[in-house]
Amino acid sequence: MQLLLTRPYEEGCKTAETLRKRGFTVIHEPLIQVRVLEGKAPDLSGIQAVVVTSSNGVRALERRMSGRKLTPLPIYTVGEASARTAYGLGFTRVRSAKGNAGDLVRMLKNHVKPQDGALLHVTGQRQARDLGAMLAPFGYTLRKEIMYESHPVDNPRQNVPAQLQKGNIHIVMLYSPYTACIYSKLVGKAFNNQVLQPLHVCLSPAVAEEIQELGLKKDRIIVAASPQQDALFSSLPLLVPEARINFGT
């Protein structure tokens, strides 16, 4: 059972290892590359907590703080993967919303008072949701600091459309709307309205929305029960038997 994994290299390598242990043959083809932007450590004056919405933000913050004591401020993450990354890099006061941006806002409302100071949002140049706009009605001040950027990979190592056309890929895993958009453009040009057979496993409805133009049948798109990697993984064992029937493997 061959699976196409489209995550960026660093995170994708760990995911690929886990999937191989579960019996999948993984084609790891990162479609985006992430670059941490150089800069000085953030000014934490007036900041009561740090908010991150991806593991990339955690790694960027740690690099900016390199050579300095890691921030003693609490760090609120949108998901468990970001929280694990934060703990792994030495941050100690970490709390995860275990969900999406809406869950993060609800957690902040329960644990952080607007009058106690602003929130520092460590993010990239692309954000799926405007966290500042979501928090503003509740009196929060969000100071956004862009510490990393992501771009499409210039020269993918694998010819993804060719692999799909040969039937070598049975499952495609898509983690972010941006990656899904790049995948849709890459594959859409090659297939030109041909029906794609692989199962497309998406982390969230927003990710699935980006591949709608491919004209996939409804049973070719699976959305995780929650926007967490564990939820994505939990659906894979259920998909394998169906995939074997559909693809004759």
Which residue is it, tokens 């196409």?
4
pLDDT of residue 69: 65
How many CB atoms neighbour CB 47 within 10 A?
Answer: 16
Give the fold, CATH level 3, of 2-31+153-247.
Rossmann fold (3.40.50)
The ranges assigned to domains in the chain are 2-31+153-247, 34-151
* Relative orientation angle of helices 229-247 and 9-21, to the nearest 10 degrees: 60
DSSP assigned state of 8: -
Higher per-residue confidence, 195 vs 3 = 3
pTM of the model: 0.81
Q: List residues bridging with 2 in a β-sheet.
A: 25
CATH top class, domain 34-151: alpha beta
H-helix or E-strand spanning residue 247: helix 229-247
Residue 108 has, within 13 A of its CA and on its CB side, a CA count of: 35
Do the first three CATH levels of 2-31+153-247 and 34-151 match, i.e. the same topology? yes
The better pLDDT of the pair 242, 13 is held by 13
Residue 241 has pLDDT above 60, yes or no: no
Tens-place pLDDT, residues 51-99 = 999 899 999 999 988 756 666 889 999 988 899 999 998 888 999 999 8
Block residue for tokens 């030109």: 192
pLDDT of residue 244: 41
Give the integer Cα–Cα distance in Å for 237 and 245: 14
